[in-house]
Amino acid sequence: MIAGDEDILNLKQTCFRQGKFALTANFEVSKGARIAIIGPSGGGKSTLLHGISGFLKPTTGQVLWEGEPMSDHPGERPLSILFQDHNLFPHLCVADNIAVGINPNMRLSEEQILLAKNALDQVGLSEKAADFPRDLSGGQRGRVGLARILLRKRPLILLDEPFSALGPALKDEMLELLSQILDLTEASALMVTHDTNDAIRFGDQAILVAEGLAHEPQEIQSLFSNPPPALKEYIGDRA
Partner 1 sequence: MAGSVIAISLRLIFGGAVITALLTFSFGTAAVVALRGHGFGPLLPTDLSAIRFTLWQALVSAFLSVSVAIPVARALSRQSFFGRRALITLLGAPFILPVLVGVLGLLSVFGRSGWISELLLFFGLGRLSIYGASGVILAHVFFNLPLATRFILQGWSGVPAERFRLTDSLGANSWSRFLLIEWPMLRGVLPGAFVLIFLLCLTSFTVALAVGGGPKGTTIELAIYQAFRFEFNLGKAASLATIQFGLCGIVALLAFLVPLPKVGDIGLDRLAHQFGARKHRRLDIIWISGAAGFLILPLSAILFRGLGGILSLPGQVFSASITSLLIALISTGVCIFLALGLSLSIAYSRLNTQKIVEGISVLGLSTSPLVVGTGLFLMIFPFVNPASLAIPVTAFVNAMMAMPFALRVLIPAVRDIYNEYLHLRLSLNMGRGIWLMRIVFPRLRRPVGFSAGLVAALSMGDFGVIALFASPDLQTLPLILYRLMGSYQMDQAAAVSVVLVAQSLFLFWIFDRGGRGHTES
Give contact residues for partner 1 (rule: CB under 8 A).
53-55, 73-77, 79-81, 83-87, 89-92, 100-101, 104-106
In order of 45, 74, 90, 130, 215, the CA distances from 39 in angstroms are 7, 25, 32, 39, 10
Shorter beta-carbon distance to partner 1: residue 20 or 86: 86
b/e string for 127-156 if b means 16 or more Cβ within 10 A? Answer: ebbebbbeebeebbbbbbbbbbbbbbbbbb
Instruction: Select 187 or 231, whichever has its Cβ closest to partner 1.
Output: 187
- Output the smallest distance, CB 83 to partner 1, in A: 4
- C-alpha span between 24 and 7 (Å, rounded): 19
- CB 76 to partner 1: min, Å: 7
**What is the distance between the alpha carbons of residues 3 and 126, in angstroms, rounded to a whole number?**
41
CB of 27 to partner 1, least distance (A): 22
Q: How far is the CB of 51 from partner 1 (least distance, A)?
A: 13
Q: Which is nearer to partner 1, 132 or 216 (CB)?
A: 132
User: Judged by CB, which is closer to partner 1: 148, or 171?
Assistant: 148
